Amino acid sequence: MTDIPGSSGVPLDIQQLVAQHLAQYQQLAARAEAAERVTEHLAELGATASSLRNEVTVSVSPSGLLSDVRISEAAVNLGAAGLSHLLMTTLRQALVTLEENAVQAMEDAEGGEIAAATLAEIRTGLSGPLAALDQDGTDIRLN
């Protein structure tokens, strides 16, 4: 039990009740600090990927939304189908990188169960777009 300063003369049951509330407050304060660390690390997330020869560069936001696309002159010479394929492949790589960055950010945040739950939400949110980009059924995260 936590020793409560200035508690002499206070009935034991009241001291115990105050100690319980103090312990609960300390637990909530620790969770709030963990949530703040997780939030700070999430704000720094995002990812960028480039094609092998840098014809295409794609950036995604912390939530996985497309935030920037850069296409070089060399990419234009690929034709519509080639450029489309390169864009989708590069976008997929950016999303995979985002997921990897999220894992590292949550480990760095040391947010415990809050970080674990946040990471699970991120992975769930990315699973749909990643599956949609898996046209050939391969998962580049395994390579």
Q: What is the dihedral of CA 20, 109, 59, 123, to 10 degrees?
A: -60
CA trace torsion 76, 85, 97, 115 (10° rounding)? 130
Q: Give the predicted TM-score (pTM) of the model.
A: 0.70
Q: What pLDDT, on a 0 to 100 scale, did the predictor assign at position 119?
A: 83
For the domain 42-142, what is the CATH superfamily, name and number? Nucleoid-associated protein YbaB-like domain (3.30.1310.10)
The residue ranges of every structural domain in the chain are 42-142
Per-residue pLDDT of the chain (143 residues; tens, 9 = 90+): 455 566 677 788 888 888 898 989 888 888 888 778 778 877 788 899 999 999 999 999 988 889 999 999 998 889 998 999 899 999 999 999 999 988 888 887 777 788 888 888 888 888 888 888 876 544 444 33
What is the DSSP secondary structure assignment for residue 3, as one 8-state letter?
A: P
